[in-house]
Amino acid sequence: MIITLKKNAPQNEIEHLHQALEDRGVEIHAIEGTDFNVWGLVGDTAELDERDILANECVANVQRVSAPYKLANRMFHPDDTVVDVAGVKIGGKEPIVVMGGPCSIEGKDQAVRIAKEVKAAGGRIFRGGAYKPRTSPYSFQGLGYEGILDMVEARKETGLPIVSELMSADKIDEFVENVDLVQIGARNMQNFDLLKAVGHINKPILLKRGMSATIEDWIMSAEYIMSSGNPNVILCERGIRTFEKYTRNTMDLAVIPIIKEKTHLPIVIDPSHATGDWKYVEADALAAIAAGADGLIIEVHDHPDQAWSDGAQSLKPEKFARLIYKARRVAAAVDRDL
Amino acid sequence: MIITLKKNAPQNEIEHLHQALEDRGVEIHAIEGTDFNVWGLVGDTAELDERDILANECVANVQRVSAPYKLANRMFHPDDTVVDVAGVKIGGKEPIVVMGGPCSIEGKDQAVRIAKEVKAAGGRIFRGGAYKPRTSPYSFQGLGYEGILDMVEARKETGLPIVSELMSADKIDEFVENVDLVQIGARNMQNFDLLKAVGHINKPILLKRGMSATIEDWIMSAEYIMSSGNPNVILCERGIRTFEKYTRNTMDLAVIPIIKEKTHLPIVIDPSHATGDWKYVEADALAAIAAGADGLIIEVHDHPDQAWSDGAQSLKPEKFARLIYKARRVAAAVDRDL
Amino acid sequence: MIITLKKNAPQNEIEHLHQALEDRGVEIHAIEGTDFNVWGLVGDTAELDERDILANECVANVQRVSAPYKLANRMFHPDDTVVDVAGVKIGGKEPIVVMGGPCSIEGKDQAVRIAKEVKAAGGRIFRGGAYKPRTSPYSFQGLGYEGILDMVEARKETGLPIVSELMSADKIDEFVENVDLVQIGARNMQNFDLLKAVGHINKPILLKRGMSATIEDWIMSAEYIMSSGNPNVILCERGIRTFEKYTRNTMDLAVIPIIKEKTHLPIVIDPSHATGDWKYVEADALAAIAAGADGLIIEVHDHPDQAWSDGAQSLKPEKFARLIYKARRVAAAVDRDL
Amino acid sequence: MIITLKKNAPQNEIEHLHQALEDRGVEIHAIEGTDFNVWGLVGDTAELDERDILANECVANVQRVSAPYKLANRMFHPDDTVVDVAGVKIGGKEPIVVMGGPCSIEGKDQAVRIAKEVKAAGGRIFRGGAYKPRTSPYSFQGLGYEGILDMVEARKETGLPIVSELMSADKIDEFVENVDLVQIGARNMQNFDLLKAVGHINKPILLKRGMSATIEDWIMSAEYIMSSGNPNVILCERGIRTFEKYTRNTMDLAVIPIIKEKTHLPIVIDPSHATGDWKYVEADALAAIAAGADGLIIEVHDHPDQAWSDGAQSLKPEKFARLIYKARRVAAAVDRDL
């Protein structure tokens, strides 16, 4: 950590800060500069908060040298983490995994019917929303537990593991019992109590990036889960919020090489939410494969115009199958299986 | 609601959509245009979801004419809502309310000591964090229930009502029992389960704007609380995330006239989080008063350099007192008391 | 165009607006709604400005149904435009074109040397900066005309057409005489006088997207060039500015299917500027190919650590060659040549 | 400047960089850290480019300690700059200056008529657009030179100095001859050739912030003008582009204390463009005054509904007069004249 000090700061303030930092166990190396003085801090600075140090009036600026994450940091864990979702492996050199299914579960028949389509097309995990985070209280809020049970039926019929979003800690037991991969949605990426709660279970977690989360914020949320005891975190990019209006969000594909460089965790892309428009899903899905994604999660519905939510971004099964066909060719071109 | 239809869409798709909309109880007025056809929908469209309609391939675009919120909408509730926080009234023509206190409660002495300073300076509500949403799992996470009890002590000693952030529904009873104004933080603004939960209590809610929430998203989150039964919502702007790096967030003061135009709810500004730097807090606080804010919430600490969190944006008590002195003058200039 | 009118607006204001619109030659279809009334305007509305209509106090909102661009609009020009850059064709079903070269031209030797490397690797156009838009007046500003002449030498030696950025209309003759593809940079995307000026020349234009330009803004800038008489516009995405800090910009790849849907113009991607870091360039370049890009423009330098600008995002020639090798495989997987 | 070096980098690369930096005349202080090594550079680093250093593979990160601007930097010029616009002084402790006028000049009568209203209301500079940067080539582009002459007439009749936007260097003589304050618009904030050109004239410059410009970018653009020889730069905030849709832009008022801290230049606020809606202009204008702005620039039109551009954000003269009346009261409350 680098602390920039004002030249004209009172000596006693500077000494006070110097002492306080030494008390935290770090070594201080001082450099006298032209306009500012600089301290380089050596030692474990992960528990120092930049903003606490900034509170000293003698300080002009504080900059971190080492990343604030440890468990997710590839520097301390060079090997790829491979996450096992009820037998389906994600990450490292494993084949790319495509997850598909409807935005909302609408009943057992719909769940089973679409799960079969997903499987037939080559999808390996069935996704579906039972508890739905909707912007409007007047929109359909999901079938809840009934929807989870419908997904369990779909798994029975197809053998596909299931992933669904957990919105509240009081439903954790239900998810541990029934769901194979527990999704934390974008809107809850910094619901820290929920992160800690899923850090205590032994199911893998799909952690979506928040709409305004920096990559560092996102990795720190993974670190919450990991430091609570659960190492099985899969990161999922679903687009960030920008000024652009032609798409619902802006998909940030540079996260793929960055997540692989900074962390050892698998990275999955959700082109359905990133674009918000089925017409653009295929192009962005292929792009994600070419950039090195470990998986895709895609909304599929056999009657998008009758979907109870987000039909606009759902692919029909035949389009989903065609996407997987094309994705396989692109995967092969970058030496990955799918 | 306005639906734009593609000219070359198959007739049966169009008829199918027409029927589906009529089944939802809206009247359809068709206009034949040059490049597109247009349907104007008349009736209650709040429960129609734009994105469901967009899922029809014959549809090029969907635009809402009426706002998607009802209970918060000034159109249906022209009078200002005044929220009563244990006797302190906020909103309408009531005097502007300044809330102050530390980012984190650090113990009973600190709480009582700072609450006295806040009161002496003219603050009318004591704020403090007991449960802290921190980006890093390695940062101080708050004293929890102990911190709430420390705030209760501070209230006993000063008579100031207290506001603190609720991060998880399982602590609601604790908050209902002890806290006068329940804060929902920016990171939980779309934690819909939590919004519904606080919609069922009879304490007023301070709803912070999410870092990437549009004003409409934010009002919809208020609508969640209100439609669950709790009409006492105060909106609080705390800055949005932009590309700018010299401040922690960008304070959006246009929200003040907009919230007053679109809704009947009180609007409070948090210049501490918006700027992230105590040096800029006073300027932005005075700006908020001039623009018509109903209140301010400001971080105050008597030893910012020793604060357990966010010292960088905390004002010392004497600076807080000076801010209130100046804010009074600005309030008078815009015909408000403080 | 759809105009939403306030219910309680004075009748004379409404009549005044009605007359003014009819005078502009559009037909008005009125719909009486619950909370608002609505007018649908039929006819040529491209020359009506939403904001002029909004200036009427009786108007609550104005929404465009048809796109504001005509010449770039695929609706009125269904066939792909293929742009010919001194014999190299870009767009449509033509092979994907890779452009490469240094951020800054540093002299004849450097230009020729790198152009040869670009050609050897499979690049088909040589890029280089002679006039450099630098954030700091103290940074190297480019060799100017000398740099252009160095590029001309590089073309002589390699046969590769050359592309370079034009920053000011007073250099147009120099560019018309020497350069094969005239680049308008992101910072000048809304320098409308410059757009009009290059609309009058008969060289193709590479129009970069502004850092905060919506896709619609960007197409409108192409429309400026086209409506001034130059139909040969290639659009180039180079990343937009967001809150993310790990990359210089955020590359928005959804533009590829969108530009192809909304316009008939070729679309080229610049992963060097989009990421700002050579380590991420390959992944994003392959992604762009998979998503359907018509070309790539990539910074190449044989000694990035000695480059006079932007070495951080430049690929060494061997990495550039490897990128093209991989890009060819991905191109084949999506049925394109490269 | 702080350079973070990878621990495992080859020794010869590190020595090469060390030598290269010493050759640039800076002193290097090395600190051996736990995960990285760090160099602190002492000396004049303004001409070093972070990104050139980043191009060395041994470098993990580069961070600037001192600001990259010198002439605009308050550290080296502690006194406020007061800019004289044909006798009207702006900045320092001078009275706040309100500039007003139409978005577009529409003819001599309109210009003179509105200038008189602006003066009667208390405005001290007359603004008007003769050359208009419009997103669409089909929108009114301004009267050009004729509009400038109309403004000259308005100055003759009222005595108010005039400000207008210069879009292209080839019109500089026209502006030097006729205009008192030369505006560089948001879209040209990084049109560096234009910045250098106005750096060579002896008229004051009103430099608007670009829609996606950080404060540092903006100050660097001022530095371009100043380093070319023109010290009379007034900075003007006009809102930045964010995801918010209820306003045209987001006004960033924290710039006021920041610009005053980092630079010695005057800062003026444009609430008309920042909000894009006349209904919100007054609130934001008062906020700007309370936050310490040195001036306001506001769009005024006597018939907004007939304005040739941007009527939606124009105030009628009586509203403008009321705004000035209120602004005076707020100014007095913060001990400024207006």
Judged by a CB distance cut-off of 8 A, whether residue A139 touches chain D is no
Collapse the DSSP code of D69 into the 3-class scheme (helix H, G, I; strand E, B; otherwise coil) and give the result: coil
Contact between B117 and B128 under an 8 Å Cβ cutoff? The reply is no
Quote the pLDDT of residue D278: 92
- Say whether A283 and C292 touch across the interface (CB within 8 A): yes
Please report which confidence band the pLDDT of residue B47 belongs to, taking 50, 70 and 90 as the band edges.
Answer: confident
What is the pLDDT of chain B when averaged over all its residues?
95
- Say whether B137 and A217 touch across the interface (CB within 8 A): no
Instruction: Give bridge partners of residue D30 from the DSSP assignment.
Output: D39
- Say whether C34 and B44 touch across the interface (CB within 8 A): yes
The answer, yes or no, to whether residue B309 has pLDDT greater than 80, is no
Tens of pLDDT, residues D10-64: 999 999 999 999 998 889 999 888 888 999 998 888 778 888 888 888 999 898 8
In the predicted model, what is the mean pLDDT of residues C225-237? 98
Which chain D residues touch A65 with a CB distance below 8 Å? 2, 4, 33, 35-36, 38, 61
Gap between the Cα atoms of B240 and D250, Å rounded = 10
Helix (H) or strand (E) segment spanning residue A37: strand A36-42
- Say whether D52 and C307 touch across the interface (CB within 8 A): yes
CB contacts under 8 A, A 105-134 vs B, are 133-134
Which chain D residues touch C217 with a CB distance below 8 Å? 135
Quote the pLDDT of residue D230: 98
What is the pLDDT of chain D when averaged over all its residues?
95
Biggest CA–CA distance in chain B, Å, is: 74
Judged by a CB distance cut-off of 8 A, whether residue A38 touches chain D is yes
CA distance A54 to chain D (A): 14
Contact between D181 and D148 under an 8 Å Cβ cutoff? The reply is no
- Say whether B250 and D261 touch across the interface (CB within 8 A): no
3-state percent breakdown (helix, strand, coil) of chain C, nearest 5: 40, 20, 40
Judged by a CB distance cut-off of 8 A, whether residue D164 touches chain C is no
ipTM: 0.94
Quote the pLDDT of residue D47: 78
CB contact set of B225 (below 8 Å; sequence gap of 6+)? B195, B196, B198, B199, B205, B207, B233
Is the whole-model pTM more than 0.90?
A: yes
At which residue do the structure tokens 């929109």 appear? A139
Nearest-Cα residue of chain C relative to residue D195? C137
Q: What radius of gyration, in Å, describes the C-alpha atoms of chain C? A: 23
Please report which confidence band the pLDDT of residue A245 belongs to, taking 50, 70 and 90 as the band edges.
Answer: very high
Across A45-49, B203-207, B318-322, C272-276, least confident range: A45-49
Quote the pLDDT of residue B305: 82
Collapse the DSSP code of B30 into the 3-class scheme (helix H, G, I; strand E, B; otherwise coil) and give the result: strand
Closest Cα to residue B248, out of D310, C270, C245, D190? C245
Which chain D residues touch C169 with a CB distance below 8 Å? 168-170
Directed axis angle between helix D255-262 and helix D278-291, to 10°? 40
CA distance C98 to chain D (A): 22
Contact between D305 and D130 under an 8 Å Cβ cutoff? The reply is no
Taking residue C74's Cβ as centre, other Cβ atoms within 10 Å add up to 18
Closest Cα to residue D181, out of D130, D138, D125? D125
The answer, yes or no, to whether residue C251 has pLDDT greater than 90, is yes
Residue of A64 and D183 predicted with greater confidence = D183
In the predicted model, what is the mean pLDDT of residues A164-176? 97
Which amino acid, C16? H
Tens of pLDDT, residues A138-169: 988 999 999 999 999 999 999 999 999 999 99
Q: Chains that contact A by 3+ CB pairs under 8 Å?
A: B, C, D
Please report which confidence band the pLDDT of residue B287 belongs to, taking 50, 70 and 90 as the band edges.
Answer: very high
Interface test with A, best of D34, D47, D50 (most A CBs within 10 A): D34
Q: Shortest CB distance from D279 goes to which of B212, B257, B329?
A: B257
Which chain C residues touch A286 with a CB distance below 8 Å? 290-291, 334
Collapse the DSSP code of B84 into the 3-class scheme (helix H, G, I; strand E, B; otherwise coil) and give the result: strand
Gap between the Cα atoms of D72 and D62, Å rounded = 23
In total, chain C counts a number of residues equal to 338
Gap between the Cα atoms of D184 and A250, Å rounded = 31
Interface test with B, best of C38, C57, C69, C75 (most B CBs within 10 A): C38
Please report which confidence band the pLDDT of residue C18 belongs to, taking 50, 70 and 90 as the band edges.
Answer: very high
Nearest-Cα residue of chain D relative to residue A35? D66
Quote the pLDDT of residue D35: 85
In the predicted model, what is the mean pLDDT of residues C48-62? 87
CB contacts under 8 A, D 314-333 vs B, are 326, 329-330, 332-333
Q: What radius of gyration, in Å, describes the C-alpha atoms of chain B? A: 23
Tens of pLDDT, residues A229-243: 999 999 999 999 999
Residue of B243 and B8 predicted with greater confidence = B243
Nearest-Cα residue of chain D relative to residue C68? D136
Judged by a CB distance cut-off of 8 A, whether residue B69 touches chain D is no
Collapse the DSSP code of D53 into the 3-class scheme (helix H, G, I; strand E, B; otherwise coil) and give the result: helix
β-pairing verdict for B27-32 and D83-85: unpaired
The answer, yes or no, to whether residue D94 has pLDDT greater than 80, is yes
- Say whether C250 and A240 touch across the interface (CB within 8 A): yes
Which chain D residues touch A63 with a CB distance below 8 Å? 2, 63
Tens of pLDDT, residues A182-224: 999 999 999 999 999 999 999 999 999 999 999 999 999 999 9
- Say whether B66 and C36 touch across the interface (CB within 8 A): yes
Closest Cα to residue A137, out of B232, B205, B48, B221? B221
Across A51-55, B131-135, D69-73, least confident range: A51-55
Which chain B residues touch D68 with a CB distance below 8 Å? none
CA distance C284 to chain D (A): 19
Nearest-Cα residue of chain C relative to residue D57? C305
Which chain A residues touch B310 with a CB distance below 8 Å? 51-52, 55
Which chain D residues touch A243 with a CB distance below 8 Å? 241-243
Judged by a CB distance cut-off of 8 A, whether residue B17 touches chain A is yes
Cβ contacts from B onto D, under 8 A: 137
- Say whether A245 and C326 touch across the interface (CB within 8 A): no
Residue A130: C-alpha distances to residues A115, A169, A283, D181 (Å): 15, 15, 28, 61
Nearest-Cα residue of chain D relative to residue A4? D65
Quote the pLDDT of residue B52: 85
- Say whether C192 and D134 touch across the interface (CB within 8 A): yes
- Say whether D32 and A38 touch across the interface (CB within 8 A): no
Directed axis angle between helix B278-291 and helix D255-262, to 10°? 140
Quote the pLDDT of residue C49: 84
- Say whether A242 and C244 touch across the interface (CB within 8 A): no
